Amino acid sequence: MNNQEFIRHALTDNVLLIKLGQSLDNNNAHAVLETITVAHDEGYTFIIVDMAEVDFLSSAGVGSILGTVEMFREQGGDIILCNVSNTALHVLKVLDLDDFLTIKPTVNEARELCGIKV
């Protein structure tokens, strides 16, 4: 997986895991936003975004999450970020989004939040 690629993996019928590469920035933000939007249209209610590899998060990357999260919350779901690095978390804090977005330390904790037994 290169810097901008990401992997889409269905965990259940309504939970989708997106594993990001090294960055979520202007190069791939639109593709991530589109993937999340398509997942919503396909009936997924929870998206888990695994950011373990992400060392650079730009404003466009933030936009791909913030611009789509409400679609899921309106249906009782959510977008859950996990394995967020200190630098990515810093960007979210600067934008006052660390409390607004749902952030979990690990994928397993994110899965639990979606009702998946680990």
Partner 1 sequence: MQTDRLATSALLIPADLSKDAVNDFENRLQELLRNNPRLITLDVSLLKYVSSSHIKLLWQTYLTCLESGVSVKLQSLSPGLERVLKVLDLYEILVGEYELFHPQVKRAIRFESAENQPPYADEFRADLAGRDKALEEFLKYLQRFALPEIVLFELRTVFYEVATNIITHASMEKNNLIVFSAFIDSSKITMVFVDSGIPFNPEHLAIDFDPRSASKNHQSRGFGVILVRRIMDKVSYIRFNDNINVLTLEKTWG
- Given the complex with partner 1, which of 89 and 116 has the nearer CB atom? 89
> Per CB under 8 A, which region of 8-16, 45-53, 56-64, 104-112 contacts partner 1?
56-64
Select the residue interacting with partner 1 from 12, 14, 56, 75 (CB under 8 A).
56
Question: H or E stretch including 99?
Answer: none
Q: Tell me how far apart the alpha carbons of residues 39 and 53 are, in angstroms, rounded to a whole number.
A: 22
Residue of the chain from 25, 28, 47, 103 that contacts partner 1 (CB under 8 A) = 25
- Could you tell me which residues come within 8 angstroms of residue 24 by beta carbon, excluding any fewer than 6 positions away? 32, 51, 54, 56, 57, 58, 61, 64, 88
* Phi/psi at 6 (5° precision): -145, 155
- Binding region for partner 1 (CB under 8 A): 25-27, 29, 33, 56, 58-60, 62-64, 66-71, 73, 86-87, 90-91, 94-97, 100
